[in-house]
């Protein structure tokens, strides 16, 4: 529990990144208020694919992100036992060009420290009998399935138990302070209609794909490009492992078994407004067609739902599809641009939420001149059910 005199940090955004940061900062002895305009995890966090990345998907073209993923994959399994289906993943070769990609993929996984094992077609189909008969082989990696809601709830639950003040349905409408110095936030309590201010030593922008909009409240340009993608949930489990195509990332090339569903994803484009996302029918059809090439049973399965969500990717303007942008994460201390008391943490994956929080926490304590090391890699999280109990109390 933080001292009453400890610096106060306001976090904007109750997705996985904000939740992990609240947990990180209270463990470092800081006072934390987190504000979220809707329900917790209602942004991209509550709508993602549910793949605990090994990093293999990024090993060839985005090695920085690959290394982040395998490191965080290992840490999350340790600090959140029971939150994952430890089912592993197969990157499946369907044709000769996939086999040629294998020659870059296997050494790239090795170079990023991702354990990988090559399997011939029969061995791969023994592990995953639903794979197409014609596959040429597959690479086994430590991907896994995670529950998109319950993992972040464990961060919120532990942060609450350690004294964080978590305020859902509280929208930041503006910042307080003067030009060049942020001293807090102006919020609207959407449940009561009350408007009030919260003072802070540091305000953190953890607003995911909305980070650009929040940055503009402070007069800074945050280089976050909302990059939506479509996901399609099919009834039934067409596979028990995470199945990906062994080729450079493309549409419809991942199937994640999630409870009694198979989730096919995803597409990628760049949007201006993350509140205005469509679910283009041609993307849905592409998911179905590509998913069925890997797992033929998907061709006859019933669609349970189709939706889209926006990735909060960091990169310069001008990206065409979002696939060319790295999945790594960045922390911006806007003091460097002449705005004191305002920090942004953006980019990354749901898999790297803890690592993003560690980076932002390091920047914040350094800015405050404190010695307070990160402790989240060794702290086992409370179960997600503790969150509901704490909220009801």
Ligand X SMILES: Cc1cc2nc3c(=O)[nH]c(=O)nc-3n(C[C@H](O)[C@H](O)[C@H](O)COP(=O)(O)OP(=O)(O)OC[C@H]3O[C@@H](n4cnc5c(N)ncnc54)[C@H](O)[C@@H]3O)c2cc1C
Helix (H, G, I), strand (E, B) or coil at 353: helix
How, if at all, do strands 31-35 and 8-12 pair? parallel
CB nearer ligand X, residue 38 or residue 367: 38
Residues 6+ apart with CB under 8 A from 289: 252
CB nearer ligand X, residue 137 or residue 322: 322
Q: Please pick, from the candidates 25, 198, 200, 207, the single residue that binds ligand X as defined by CB under 6 A.
A: 207
Q: Please pick, from the candidates 8, 31, 49, 71, the single residue that binds ligand X as defined by CB under 6 A.
A: 49
Stretch that binds ligand X, among 39-47, 275-283, 298-306, 376-384 (CB under 6 A): 39-47
Q: Does 210 bind ligand X (CB under 6 A)?
A: yes
| Distance in Å, CB of 268 to ligand X, minimum | 8
**Long-range pairs for 190-194 at CB < 8 Å and ≥24 separation?**
190/37, 190/38
| Distance in Å, CB of 2 to ligand X, minimum | 22
Distance (Å, rounded) from C-alpha 301 to C-alpha 323? 28
Q: Mark residues 248-287: x for contact with ligand X by CB under 6 A, - for none.
A: -----------------xx---------------------
| Distance in Å, CB of 100 to ligand X, minimum | 26
Q: Please pick, from the candidates 25, 26, 33, 44, the single residue that binds ligand X as defined by CB under 6 A.
A: 44
Q: Does 309 bind ligand X (CB under 6 A)?
A: yes
| Distance in Å, CB of 90 to ligand X, minimum | 16
Distance (Å, rounded) from C-alpha 121 to C-alpha 16? 38
Distance (Å, rounded) from C-alpha 290 to C-alpha 252? 5
CB nearer ligand X, residue 125 or residue 349: 349
Q: Please pick, from the candidates 168, 312, 355, 361, the single residue that binds ligand X as defined by CB under 6 A.
A: 312
Q: For residue 72, what are its two tokens?
A: 């965080």
Count of residues near ligand X by CB under 6 A: 40
Q: Please pick, from the candidates 79, 159, 160, 172, the single residue that binds ligand X as defined by CB under 6 A.
A: 172
Distances (CA, A) of 276 to 85, 94, 128, 148, 273: 33, 36, 38, 22, 6
Stretch that binds ligand X, among 91-99, 200-208, 279-287, 330-338 (CB under 6 A): 200-208
The residue assigned the tokens 């040629």 is: 100
| Distance in Å, CB of 103 to ligand X, minimum | 26
Q: Please pick, from the candidates 7, 9, 10, 14, the single residue that binds ligand X as defined by CB under 6 A.
A: 14
The residue assigned the tokens 């011939």 is: 120
Q: Does 37 bind ligand X (CB under 6 A)?
A: yes
Distance (Å, rounded) from C-alpha 9 to C-alpha 63? 32
Distance (Å, rounded) from C-alpha 381 to C-alpha 66? 24
Q: What is the DSSP string of 59-105?
A: TTT-HHHHHHHHHHHHHHHHHSTTSEE---EEEEE-SHHHHHHHHHH
Nearest CA among 61, 24, 138, 11 for reference residue 373: 24
Interface residues with ligand X (CB under 6 A) are 12-18, 35-38, 42-45, 48-51, 53, 171-172, 206-210, 214, 229, 231, 265-266, 309-312, 348-351
């Amino acid at each position: 529990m933080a001292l009453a005199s400890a610096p106060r940090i306001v976090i904007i955004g109750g997705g996985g990144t904000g939740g992990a940061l609240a947990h990180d900062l209270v463990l470092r002895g800081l006072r934390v208020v987190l504000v979220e305009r809707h329900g917790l995890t209602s942004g991209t966090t509550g709508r993602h694919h549910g793949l605990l990345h090994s990093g293999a998907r990024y090993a060839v073209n985005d090695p920085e992100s690959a290394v982040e993923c395998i490191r965080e994959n290992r840490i999350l399994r340790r600090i959140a036992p029971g939150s994952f289906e430890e089912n592993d993943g197969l990157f499946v070769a369907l044709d000769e060009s996939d086999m040629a990609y294998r020659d870059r993929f296997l050494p790239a996984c090795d170079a990023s420290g991702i354990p990988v094992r090559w399997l011939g077609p029969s061995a791969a189909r023994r592990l995953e009998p639903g794979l197409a008969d014609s596959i040429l082989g597959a690479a086994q990696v430590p991907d896994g399935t995670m529950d998109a809601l319950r993992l972040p709830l464990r961060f919120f639950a532990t942060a609450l138990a350690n004294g964080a003040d978590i305020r859902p349905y509280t929208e930041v409408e503006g910042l307080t302070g003067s030009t060049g110095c942020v001293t807090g936030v102006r919020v609207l309590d959407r449940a009561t209609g009350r408007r009030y201010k919260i003072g802070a030593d540091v305000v953190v922008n953890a607003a995911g794909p909305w980070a650009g909009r929040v940055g503009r409240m402070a007069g800074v340009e945050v280089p976050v490009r909302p990059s939506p993608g479509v996901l399609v949930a099919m009834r039934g489990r067409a596979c028990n492992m995470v199945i990906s195509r062994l080729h450079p990332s493309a549409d419809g090339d991942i199937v994640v078994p999630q409870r009694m569903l198979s989730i096919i994803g995803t597409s990628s484009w760049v949007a201006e407004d993350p509140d205005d996302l469509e679910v283009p029918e041609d993307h849905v059809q592409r998911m179905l067609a590509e998913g069925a090439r890997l797992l033929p049973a998907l061709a006859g399965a019933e669609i349970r739902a189709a939706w889209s969500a926006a990735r909060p990717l960091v990169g310069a303007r001008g990206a065409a599809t979002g696939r060319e942008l790295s999945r790594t994460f960045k922390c911006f201390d806007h003091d460097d641009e002449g705005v004191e008391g305002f920090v942004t943490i953006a980019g990354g994956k749901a898999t790297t939420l803890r690592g993003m929080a560690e980076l932002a926490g390091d920047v914040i304590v350094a800015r405050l001149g404190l010695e307070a090391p990160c402790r989240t890699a060794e702290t086992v999280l409370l179960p997600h059910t503790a969150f509901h109990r704490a909220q009801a109390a």
